[in-house]
């Protein structure tokens, strides 16, 4: 069986690493790892391969620059040639980034089976590019591997045949559970002169937040208010830095005395930073899940989430994008004790094994 695994951005690497490791146990499976190049910053790409013990990509498409649509189109053209050359039995895609839909759609057009890991996530906001990517990728896929029962219900409600849907758990947690001990050995706290529990971690990268001048300005006001109360550590995503400079906001950020800006961090450094935070402020989907597993309070800077189980069972609170609510919830988290949280069903570090068993059984 020949499988092409497709990655392109940081969240893809974290989700793909356990699958590659699990597939390596089967000598009758040939794996080909294709990296589209969507994330080209070394700390968003190369260091993640090293931290996650992933093999170097067999094929790199080198699609790093240009608009979202331009990237998708160029990925499709180059990936189509890979499929015609390698003739795989299956293409595996993960998550919801542009590389995910580009590779899934190309494979479907060329009549190659597609497996989508993390299928069925829905936030009901079609202004969000990732939501469009999720819906279209699921429609292209032959195997839909769902993280929670919420996701299964979403897929069934959209008319996806139930025989295509498999509830397997969260492969992101596989990576976290495998690497958490190594992450604890990171010296990131020493390098940044931090003490555990005495700072919060901030991440922002989604287009609907950072590409909107008014919203981004409001979020900077919130960050300014928070850093007057507690030290804030902000690993700055290249996309966000570009928009801060475009809107001439970067100097505002640099003037915040109790906010530390860092370059994008590798996986182990970031897990160490996050797991020692008093709380996390983020617009990331994966971080909502990682903080739930770790028991770290998470304030999600969005108006909705495609991961509602992290709110019901975990440590996640949706705080929107208005300064007043963000600051109010921050103060609440700073003053209250730890919330009880329940780790969702099948978030047990064994998801990759379940996925591989299903794929091998289905293709025997």
pTM: 0.95
Considering the chain, tell me which residue range(s) the CATH 3.40.50.2000 domain(s) occupy: 2-170+347-362, 180-335
Distance CA(226)–CA(220), nearest Å, equals: 10
Q: What is the pLDDT of residues 229-276, one digit of tens each?
A: 999 999 998 889 999 999 999 999 999 999 999 999 999 999 999 999
pLDDT given for residue 340 in this prediction: 79
For 2-170+347-362, give the CATH class.
Answer: alpha beta
pLDDT given for residue 40 in this prediction: 60
pLDDT given for residue 41 in this prediction: 59
Low-confidence ranges of the chain (pLDDT < 50): none
For 180-335, give the CATH class.
Answer: alpha beta
Active site (catalytic) residues: 205
Q: Are 249 and 216 in contact (CB under 8 A)?
A: yes
């Amino acid at each position: 069986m020949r499988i092409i695994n497709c990655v392109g951005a940081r969240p893809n690497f974290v989700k793909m690493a356990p699958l590659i490791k699990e597939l390596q146990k089967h000598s009758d499976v040939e794996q080909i790892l294709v990296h589209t190049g969507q994330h080209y910053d070394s700390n968003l790409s190369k260091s993640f391969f090293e931290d996650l013990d992933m093999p170097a990509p067999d094929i790199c498409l080198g699609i790093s620059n240009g608009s979202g649509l331009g990237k998708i189109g160029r990925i499709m053209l180059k990936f189509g040639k890979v499929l015609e050359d390698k003739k795989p039995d299956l293409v595996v895609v993960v998550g919801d980034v542009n590389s995910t839909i580009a590779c899934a759609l190309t494979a479907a057009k060329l009549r190659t089976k597609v497996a989508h890991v993390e299928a069925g996530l829905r936030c009901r906001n079609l202004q969000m590019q990732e939501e469009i990517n999720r819906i279209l990728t699921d429609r292209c896929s032959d195997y839909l591997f769902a993280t929670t029962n919420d996701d299964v219900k979403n897929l069934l409600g959209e008319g996806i045949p139930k025989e295509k849907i498999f509830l397997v758990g969260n492969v992101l947690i596989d990576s976290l559970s495998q690497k958490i001990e190594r992450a604890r050995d990171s010296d990131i706290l020493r390098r940044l002169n931090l003490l555990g529990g005495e700072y919060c971690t901030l991440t922002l990268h989604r287009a609907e937040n950072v590409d909107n001048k008014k919203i981004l300005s409001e979020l900077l006001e919130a960050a300014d208010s928070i850093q007057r109360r507690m030290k804030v550590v902000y690993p700055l995503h290249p996309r966000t830095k570009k928009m801060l400079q475009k809107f001439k906001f970067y100097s505002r950020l640099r003037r915040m005395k109790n906010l530390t800006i860092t370059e994008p961090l590798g996986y182990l450094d970031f897990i160490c930073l996050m797991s020692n935070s008093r709380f996390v402020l983020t617009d990331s989907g994966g971080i909502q899940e990682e903080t739930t597993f770790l028991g770290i309070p998470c304030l999600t800077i969005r108006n909705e989430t495609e991961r509602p189980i992290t709110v019901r069972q975990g440590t996640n609170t949706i705080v929107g994008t208005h300064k007043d609510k963000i600051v109010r919830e921050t103060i609440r988290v700073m003053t209250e004790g730890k919330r009880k949280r329940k780790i969702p069903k099948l978030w047990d570090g064994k998801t990759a094994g379940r996925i591989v068993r299903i794929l091998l059984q289905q293709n025997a």
